[in-house]
Structure 1
Amino acid sequence: MKSPLSFKQLRKQQLHSWINHNTEFECESLDIVSGDAGFRRYYRFVQGGKSIIAVDAPPKSEDTSQYIAVGQSYREKGLKVPEIYAYDLEQGFYLQQDFGNRLFSECLTVDSCDELYPKALANIPVIQNCLSTAKGPLPAHDEAFIDRELGLFNDWLLDKYLQFSVTETEAKMLAKVFGDVKKVCLMQPSVGMHRDYHSRNLMLLEDDEIGVIDFQDAVVGPITYDAVSLLRDSYQDWPKVKVQQWLKNWHAEYYSQYPWAEFKMWFDCAGMQRQIKIAGIFARLCIRDNKPSFLADIPHTLNYLIDVASQYPDYLEFACFVRERVLPNVLQNLKLKKHEA
């Protein structure tokens, strides 16, 4: 008697059947390319010498219609995004152009970074002009949105993962810091925002143009946010002097109407907001979604927080809290997990 198929196996089987019976394509087998931090799974198949990406995006957790709509808006603005060949919104399946295997993150070297980062940054002003799709305006990265994201830090990292309670003084400090960071994010000009514009969501195409993927969560929010996603990437680490020079050059080319000191402060606070959120998300990915590999990225994210918060008097107490209370506990947990393995 055969064992019942797992959810992923069943979805793959259904995707395979959909391709062969409901599209113009024929597929002999689906080869896994990757999963991601969400619930999408990517497969590759070849027909007539042409490689195609088949995507399983379970409709209970993924909005394929939004992905298609944002992609169309981006394409109309001139961004390189995958072409959609076929889709089924009810089942959460779609076929798209294969951008190949040259991830931006894997092409970054000491020799290439000074060419690649400015090229990727140059896409952001184009993204910022995309404020709506055929479905309507993009969601706003507003006060309630930011509160939900900041809340991930306390709920998932501190409470559920580290399982320690903050003191009343610490709770007040966190509330004040989160409120101040949110205020700076909200005071920035609002623009179209990819929201996850980092090295693993960019591809290098054959002509070395930047291909953009994973944009279904696009919103309208702070002008510096996507630059933070790229330059303070949780999966990359470059010398601070180099990162600041890339940011300065980008500011001078596109945003010189804003004083540099103010722009830098906007960038730093958007970075804190993002990294506070991401530390919570990495913990949630482990606990809720059974993806423990993301835990190893939490220390890097916390070190960003410590470094940036230490530059501002109002955030020194927070920097100390993360450095002395949070980071050691995260490292200890990782050490124990490694020992158990």
Structure 2
Amino acid sequence: MTPPANAPTFLAQHGWEGAEIQPLAGDASFRRYFRVLSEGRRAVLMDAPPPHEDPRPFVAVAEWLAQAGLSAPRILARDLERGLLLLDDLGDSRLRETLDIAPEREIELYEIAVDLLVHLHRQPPMSGLRPHGLDQWLDEVSLFPDWYCPAVGLDVDGAGFRDAWTAVLRPVANDGRAPVTVLRDFHAENIMLVDGRAGVEHFGLLDFQDAVAGHAAYDLASVLEDARRDVTPSVERAMLKRYKEAAGEGERFEAAYWALAAQRNTRILGVFTRLWKRDNKPHYTNFQPRMWGLLERNLAHPALGPVRDWFDRHLSAEHRAAAWAQAA
């Protein structure tokens, strides 16, 4: 977490000469974040180094979210060729840690999260976003047989896996709903509680550069079936009901919710295994027990029958836990 060599020059060019640069966070990508302090001011420096990263999608989505009445970091300065952005600092109060300290606020804060999605989904989707439909869902979920299964010593029926998921996801793709803006990483570590703001603006949004145009159930599943914290099942059911009532949705939407939750959780099992095996980030396997717990719950839904049958044929209870156990 050493700041990029050109950071001091970039900061000086934009009125932050001599600022202190402190490590703030890294993530699963090549992006890194630093807190910048100078004369009582503070901001966040994003380092998105080319050619691995491109900050332009982040800028475009941040500006669109602001226009849509939501809270995203303002872009204070930019050097797109070098992958540097200076952003508003939304503080340190993430939803995850807030609920760790005050679990009694779970319903209150998840109600705001659901209302935020209702508001977001009422906006015409941002133009120029990549589609996120059946082809993309199938490609994403293939990370499981490509990475997870080999990591636990299994050679599985990949064609049957894809056929099972096609049977489950094609009805979701063909349910006739218009696409909405999908943030894709809408979860408790990317939601900030920002002082002095209310309503949907109570939450500041992060890590939305991979936004796509897709199904309204996806981000709802992302926040209620969170890889990083346990959401009480009764709260999940209540928030699903809250969204359905606010958006005028019914049972078809609920079936889509469970199907896309299962798709996302299966993809994440593959992604976290890839981060372990390919990128030497074994700490991501710490999330695997939670992910399996969520996926097992998803597979119990009647709409997941073909996928449940595939898992029952190919993965024993031992193999469903082996990846994270081996890395511990």
> Taking structure 1 as the reference length, what is the TM-score of the superposition?
0.87
Deviations 1:44-77 (A, max 9, x none): 1211201110110112222211110111111001
Distance across 2 between alignment mates of 1:126 and 1:58: 33
Q: State the match for 1:185 in structure 2.
A: 172
Contact kept, 8 Å, 2:59 with 2:75, in 1: the verdict is yes
Aligned 8 A contact 1:19 1:25 in 2: yes
Matched, 1:47 2:41: no
Aligned to 2:184: 195
- Partners of 1:334 and 1:276 in 2: CA distance: 14
- What do you get for the CA RMSD once the two structures are aligned? 2.0
CA separation of 1:101 and 1:318: change in aligned 2, threshold 3 A: same
Q: 1:127 to 1:63 in 2, by over 3 A?
A: farther
Deviation at 1:151, TM superposition (A): 1.4
Q: 1:37 aligns with which of 28, 32, 39?
A: 28
Distance in structure 1 (CA, Å) of the matches to 2:237 and 2:82: 45
176-185 or 71-80, which moves further after superposition?
A: 176-185
The equivalent residue for 1:5 is none
Matches of 2:158 and 2:67, distance apart in 1: 46
1:140 Cα deviation from its structure 2 partner: 0.6
Equivalent of 1:142, from 130, 133, 140?
Answer: 133
**1:113, CA displacement in angstroms?**
0.5
Q: Residues 334 and 301 of structure 1: is their aligned pair in 2 closer, same or farther, counting only changes over 3 Å?
A: closer
What's 1:270 paired with? Answer: 260
1:149 aligned partner, one-letter code? E
Q: In structure 2, do the counterparts of structure 1 residues 196 and 207 end up closer, same or farther at CA, with 3 Å as the change threshold?
A: same
For 1:44-193, what aligned pairs fall within 5 Å after superposition? 44-108=35-99, 109-128=102-121, 129=123, 131-132=125-126, 136-159=127-150, 161-166=151-156, 170-188=157-175, 189=177, 190-193=179-182
Any idea what the Cα deviations from partners look like across 1:12-33, whole Å, max 9, x if unmatched?
222233222x322224431111
How far residue 235 of structure 1 moved from its aligned partner, in angstroms, is 1.2
Q: Which is worse superposed, 183-192 or 274-283?
A: 183-192
Aligned residue identity for 1:238: V
Q: Distance in 2 between matches of 1:330 and 1:61?
A: 32
Whole-Å Cα distance in 1 between the matches of residues 222 and 313 of structure 2?
23
- Alpha-carbon deviation of 1:127? 2.7
2:312 maps to 320
User: 1:51 is paired with a residue of what secondary structure?
Assistant: strand
Q: Letter of the 1:140 partner, please give it.
A: P
> Alignment partner for residue 286 of structure 1, among 276, 282, 292?
276
- Give the alignment partner of residue 241 of structure 1, picking from 218, 234, 237: 234
Please tell me the residue identity of whatever aligns with 2:26.
G
Answer yes or no: is the 8 Å Cα contact 2:141–2:267 preserved in 1: yes
Q: Percent identity?
A: 26
SS of the residue corresponding to residue 49 of structure 2 reads coil
Q: Is the 8 A contact 1:286 1:295 kept in 2?
A: yes
* CA deviation map 1:53-111 (0-9, x unaligned): 01101122222111101111110011011011101111000100000100111111431
State the distance in 2 between where 1:144 and 1:101 align. 37
Partner SS for 1:30:
strand
In the alignment, which of 195, 204, 210 is matched to residue 206 of structure 1? 195
Structure 2 distance, partners of 1:44, 1:298, is 30
Offset, 1:130: 5.1
Higher mean C-alpha deviation, range 53-62 or range 328-337: 328-337
